[in-house]
Structure 1
Amino acid sequence: MTSRQKGLKKSLVALGMVAGALAVSASNAEAADPIKIGTFLSVTGPASFLGDPELKTLELYIEELNKGGGVLGRQLELVQYDVGVDSKKAITAVKRLVSQDEVDVIIGGSTSGATMAVVPIVEKAEVPFISLAGAVAIVEPVKKWVFKTPHTDKMACGKIFEDLQSRGLTTIALISGTGGFGKSMQGQCTKLAPAYKINIAASESYGPKDTDMTAQLTKIKGVDGIQAVVNTGFGQGPAIVTKNYRQLGMTAPLYQSHGVASKKFIELAGDAAEGVRLPAAALLVADMLPDSDPQKPVVQGYSAAYSDAYGGSVSTFGGHAYDGLQIAVAAMVRAGSTDKEAVRNEIEKTSGYIGTGGVVNMSEKDHLGLDLSAFKMLEIKNGDWSIVK
């Protein structure tokens, strides 16, 4: 058995979802109409660090499930569209998924902007939709047909503020991307700050095409009393902020969001990333978890399978796709069909699911099912992740 097969088996077994147990038989699966899993992702463009591992993960595990006989005696078929970071392309893709491709469920939406753009479409079409994007607005307020797997920007603010409190830091500055995620997290941090007795003394922003944030950081540096800086954003922007931050000789602690939770950020920021803290899923530190942690076999299994199949390190973004697929498949199995209403109802009943993002307990009032305990606070040391104790 190869390391990839061991990793796949380990992660599936950890979920109690060995492929063979989900299928009636391989021959029946081949004869029946396939279950269509629709997805629209940022596979290319500036958010490809999100969409690329998400697509690879869906392909990897759908292939494995099909080899084991499929689900409900049927094979799975992935119908995917690359939308970059273009919300209009996302709208076109999702309209096609629901009307022409007639998918049974949608797992996708790499960015918050693309996800929010298509919410009205999936709600009207009444198709279960599990988003892979971060903004809390995706699930708050609750929308009947919309769920998500990543931790929210609101949760990221809370985790960062907890860490600031533990360090006795109360006065901060925000620097935020102007995209959907960056704006949303900036707003959430601003709203949440008083509850943690955090004073936001300065707030600056940068555009998605900006290549130098020195001017904004210089303004922040000039404000007296700043004890830490929090960057709400994802993509290349945070790496540029981090480099400029060090170039200006700024020494206050720098925090990033979970939107940069991949080795790509460390590679882009280089030595400037040293000491940066951010909240992230346990997946990034799988081998550092204690054996008693119920997530350990899941995240180790996924990490081994993904790395063996594609090489390189894993990111939390691929993990979000893994969780979305497993939650959707488990809902179909419990429903005993792909009836959209029945599957939606079972997704909403997800309870005790141990995934790469944490332990998920959804309800009619919570279409995410994670709390702050699902986050680890990480610090970059010597070019790698470490867990803040």
Structure 2
Amino acid sequence: MSPTERGFNRRSFLRYSGAGLLALAAAPALASCASRGTDATTLRLGAMYPVSGTNALLGEESWRGVQIATDLRNAGGGVAGKQIEMVFADVPDVNTAASEARRLVFNKNIKLGFGTYSSSLALAATEVFARTGNAYVELGAVSEAVTTRGYDKVFRLNPTAADMTGLHMDFIQNYLAGALGKPVKDLRVMMLHEDSSYGQSIVSLAKAAADKIGLQHFEAEPYSAKSTDLSSTVLRMKSQEPDIVLAVSYAADAVLLGRQIRDNNVKLGVFVGTGGGHSLASFQKALGDAADGVFDVDFTQIHVNRDFTPGIEDFISEYHKRWNAEPASGHSLSNFTGAQMLFDILETTGGNDDPEVFAAAARKYHREAGTSAAGWGYELDAQNQNQQGSMYVMQWSGSKLETVYPPEAAVRAPKLITPFGL
């Protein structure tokens, strides 16, 4: 048990867990009526995703990837001869994430949970699992705080927000500066961002990453994602004449921003999204050809070098069979990949989900980049963060979000195409 776990902080736990202390006090009574957890034939894991509420679109997409991974593994014999059973919890908000985590731990006898897609939900769920001595594996949330609180049995397999902004600057330094014919120090870069904690945290990381590459002209322009008119933001951006525009947006504001750049006839050299709305198929459907040329930094998409992403064909085939469509974003593929790695780690324990046994196996497990369906490898750092989970740069071309950078993952070279044209 880590020093952080031993030093129980009442205020911190209550913030995330509501009546958490009451739940802990009632643990012996709850245990007496708890459902059985993992046994000799069945590996029972707690899966936590928002499939209702404001995060439902990508929460459901993430959960779809886990379902495919689970069914394929069970069809192949399960984990160490045990069939995998998902004990699911819908977690539409922070309070529910905390209460459902307690339900899984105390009522369902779950020792190993995973999820969660949203950073705020992940912070709440991992807090409960960690404080009760159990293990949790995050497969989608990007906030740095998930793995920086000192919990020795909280793990994250997906890349983080810092990986995202780092790739922004890598792409600027090693491709865009040359393509635009300017040294990095002379480039004018503006980041348009929605003004919640999501956008603000990305901007903070981006500023630090910009300093590292010597980018001297970096400006940030906040806006409300709930706004129905972003023309003033667009006109302020136009007046700055940026060489490169970076954007941090949700779904609706990504479309609105694109439309108002088009409608105000703003000519941009380069526009790069940051996951979120710019990765969604609905973004391209709403804007049509006007989306052509838009870059986006995010989790792996399906239009990627297949030699670098072994197993992706099985994922795509199963997704089509179940939902008669292509994935709505890279979240399903990322969670499919993360779940497969989770099962592989559990295979090395003989299907033992004891938190201490799992934690030791998770730290020992290793695989090289380019050996999974998302192209990710696996190697944990001292904070249990996977250092081999990568973001990629994609670019919209027609209805396809094609991987263009780095070269080992790309299906083609990037192109400078004026986005949001009439």
Q: What TM-score do the two structures reach when normalised by structure 2?
A: 0.76
Counterpart check, 1:277 vs 2:291? no
CA distance in 2, matches of 1:232, 1:384: 20
Relative to structure 1, is the Cα distance of residues 329 and 46 closer, same or farther in structure 2, using a 3 angstrom cutoff? same
Q: Which has the larger radius of gyration?
A: 2
Provide the C-alpha distance between the structure 2 equivalents of 1:368 and 1:309, rounded to a whole number of angstroms.
32
Distance 1:301 1:40, change over 3 A: same
- Match among 314, 317, 324 for residue 301 of structure 1: 314
Kindly, what percent of the aligned residue pairs are identical? Answer: 18
Q: In structure 1, give the amino acid aligned to 2:259.
A: K
Find 1:347's aligned residue among 362, 383, 386.
362
Mean Cα deviation higher: 256-265 or 106-115: 256-265
**Would you say the 8 A contact 1:274–1:381 is kept in 2?**
yes
Aligned equivalents of 2:209 and 2:362: distance in 1? Answer: 29
| 1:318 has 2:340 as partner | no
Decide whether aligned partners of structure 1 residues 241 and 136 sit closer, same or farther in structure 2, where only a CA change above 3 A counts.
Answer: farther
**Cα shift at 1:274:** 1.7
Contact 1:285 1:385 in 2 (8 A): yes
Partner residue in 2 for 1:22:
none
SS at match of 2:233: helix
Matching residue of 1:139: 147
Q: Pick from 250, 265, 287: which aligns with 1:249?
A: 265
In the alignment, which residue of structure 1 is the partner of 2:373?
A: 356
How far does residue 185 in structure 1 lie from its aligned partner after superposition? 1.3
Following superposition, the deviation at residue 281 of structure 1 comes to 4.0
- Supply the AA of the counterpart residue of 1:204: E
TM-score normalised per structure 1: 0.82
Q: 1:122 aligned to 2:135?
A: no
Q: Equivalents in 1 of 2:348, 2:40: separation in Å?
A: 19
In structure 2, the residue matched to 1:203 is 220
- Is 1:149 the counterpart of 2:161? The answer is no
Question: Match for 1:43: what amino acid?
Answer: V
- Which residue matches 1:265? 283
Asked if the contact 2:167–2:297 (Cα under 8 Å) also holds between the matched residues in 1, the reply is yes
Task: Write the distance in 1 (CA, Å) between the matches of 2:217 and 2:130.
Answer: 37
Q: 2:117 aligns to what SS in structure 1?
A: coil
Matched AA of 2:318: A
Who is 1:330 aligned against? 344
Write the distance in 1 (CA, Å) between the matches of 2:132 and 2:194.
32
Measure, in 1, the Cα distance between the counterparts of 2:145 and 2:374.
19
Q: CA deviation at 1:271?
A: 3.3
Deviation per CA, 1:187-222: give whole Å up to 9, x if none.
Answer: 110111111222454322233433332222222222
The 2-side partners of 1:312 and 1:134 are apart by: 26
| Partner Cα distance (2:312, 2:323) in 1 | 16
Gaps of 5+ in 1: 1-29
CA RMSD of superposed structures (Å): 2.5
Shift of 1:33: 5.6
Stretch of structure 1 that moved more, 348-357 or 101-110: 348-357
Give the corresponding residue for 2:408: none
**What is the alpha-carbon distance in structure 2 between the residues aligned to residue 299 and residue 146 of structure 1?**
27
- By how many angstroms is 1:338 displaced? 1.6
1:230-282 deviations in whole A, cap 9, x for unaligned? 11233333222222222222222211013343423322443332211012344
Q: Tell me if structure 1 keeps the 8 A contact 2:153–2:355.
A: no
Distance 2:217 2:55 in 1: 29
Q: Tell me, what secondary structure is at the counterpart of 2:261? A: helix
The one-letter amino acid paired with 2:71 is E
User: Equivalents in 2 of 1:161, 1:71: separation in Å?
Assistant: 40
